[in-house]
Amino acid sequence: MTGKVSDDLEDRIRRYVLQPDGSGQCPYSAYAELRSADPIHRTPDGVWIVSQYDAYTTLLRDPRISRHQAALKETGDTAGAREDIKEAVAAFPYMILNQDGEGHMRLRRFLRNVFLPSFVEAWRPRIEAVAKDVVDHALTLDTFDFVQEIGYPIPERIMSDLVGIPDSHRAIWAGWSKAMTRFSRAKGNNAPDVAVVQDAMGKFHDYMKNFIAERKAAGTIDGDDMLSVLVRAREEKDFLTDEELVSNMVALTQAAHETTANLMSNTMSILLQDTALMERVRADLDLLPRVVDETLRTESPSVSVLPRTPLEDIDYDGVIIPKGDRIIFLTAAANRDPARFDRPEEFDIDRENLDRHVGFGAGPHICIGQHLGRLEVVTALREILPRMPNLKLIEKPVFVTGRARHLERLMVRNA
C-alpha cells in the first residue's frame, strides 16, 4: 500500500501530524486523502500512520503493539537528562498511559475506582457548582475569550477538587500540563520540543511528590478526593509503589483537565457556527450528550492516540509494519472514515452509529476518564446555553492542530 502519496500530501501530513507548525486549521481533507490513498502509510521519516477505522480499532487491540516501548523512546534517555529531572523522565514510561499488558491492567484496576460512573456521579453537585460560578463571572464580561474564561477554568477547578489540590495552585501546574499534552510525540525523542516537555515533567513530578508527602504528613487523606481515595487504597492493599502513585497522579491530573477543556471549547465553537443546531439544543438540553459525542467524532481534541511500537513484525492486510518502528493512530481520520460513518464530514447528532466513534481511543487504553469528561462538558453547556441566550462569535475560530486539536482562542460577545 505504500508509495501512493504525493509530495504535497506528504508535506501536509508532516506539518499537521509529525511536526505540527500551526498551519492545520482544517486538516481533514488531508486526512481523507491519506486514508484513501494509503490507509497504513509509512512516511519518509519512517513513521507509520494508520488512518482507516478498521485498521485503527484492530491494531490498537493487538497485544503485539506496545505503548510502553514507544514511551521508552519518547522523552529521551534518563542517563542524558538533567540531574533535576532524571526521576521524572525515568518514571514517565511507567505511568498508566504508557504501560502494556498486565502492568497496565494492574494500574487500571487500581485507578478505575475513582473514574467509575458511580464515583463520578457523586461529584455532580460540585461540578454543577463550579460551572455556575465560572459562568457567573463570564456574565460580567461583554466580550471574552471562551477558551480562557470558561473552557479551561471549569475542568481545572474540578480537577483541583477531584485530585485534592488547592485551587490556588492551578496557575502552578496548568502550564506544565499544556506543555506535556502538546508535545509533538510523533518523532519521539527527536522531536524539537523534547527539552520543553522534559522540563515540564520534572517540575510537575516534583510538585506532586512534595504535595503528596505534605498531605500524608498533615494527615489530610481522609476525604473523598482522588488522592485520598488512592493513598488509602494503596496503603491497604499495596497495589503500587510510591513512585507509581506520584507519576500516575501527574498523568491523571494532566490528561483529564486538558482534554476536557479542549472538548468544551470545540463543542461550543460548533454550536456557535450552526444557528439551527443551537436553537434545537437550547430547546432540548437533553440533546447535549449527543452533541458532545458528535464533537468527539468530528472535532475530537485528540487528533491521534499516543504512539505505539510493534514488538514483532506485524502483517495487516498485506502491509508489514516492522518491529521497533513508530506508529501514529490518526483518530481524526478514523472518525471520518466513510466505510464506518455515512456522510462522515457532516455534523449529525441523529446518526444511528454515533457511539461508534473513537474520540476516546480504542482497545485496552480507551480513556479511563471518559465518564468524567462527558459529565463536565454536558454540565457546563447546560449552565451556559440558558444563561447566555445571545452569545455570538465575533471572529472566526482559530485552531492549532498537533496531537491535540485545540482552539487558540474563541472570541465571543454576550449581548
Contact status, residue 201 vs residue 88, Cβ threshold 8 Å: yes
Q: Tell me which amino acid residue 267 is.
A: T
Q: How far apart are CA 74 and CA 178, in angstroms?
A: 17
Is residue 97 situated within a structural domain? yes
Average pLDDT over residues 22-40: 92
Average pLDDT over residues 138-166: 91
Q: How far apart are CA 356 and CA 299, in angstroms?
A: 15
Name the more confident of 144 and 77.
144
Is residue 1 situated within a structural domain? no
Name the more confident of 92 and 364.
364
- Average pLDDT of the residues of the chain: 89
Average pLDDT over residues 292-311: 95
> What CATH number has the domain bearing residue 225?
1.10.630.10
Quote the pLDDT of residue 2: 47
237-249 tens-digit pLDDT: 666 778 888 888 8
Q: How many CB atoms lie within 10 A of CB 412?
A: 25
Q: What's the pTM?
A: 0.90
Quote the pLDDT of residue 356: 95
Is residue 384 situated within a structural domain? yes
pLDDT exceeds cutoff 90 at 141: yes
- The domain in which residue 332 lies consists of 7-414
280-295 tens-digit pLDDT: 999 999 999 999 999 9
Average pLDDT over residues 163-183: 77
Q: Is 343 helix (H, G, I), strand (E, B) or coil?
A: coil
Is residue 22 situated within a structural domain? yes
Average pLDDT over residues 45-62: 97
Of 56-60, 90-94, 352-356, the range with the highest mean pLDDT is: 56-60
Quote the pLDDT of residue 1: 43
Average pLDDT over residues 325-350: 97
Name the more confident of 167 and 385.
385
Please tell me the total count of domains within the chain: 1
Is residue 77 situated within a structural domain? yes
Is residue 2 situated within a structural domain? no
DSSP 351: -
Is residue 273 situated within a structural domain? yes
Is residue 294 situated within a structural domain? yes
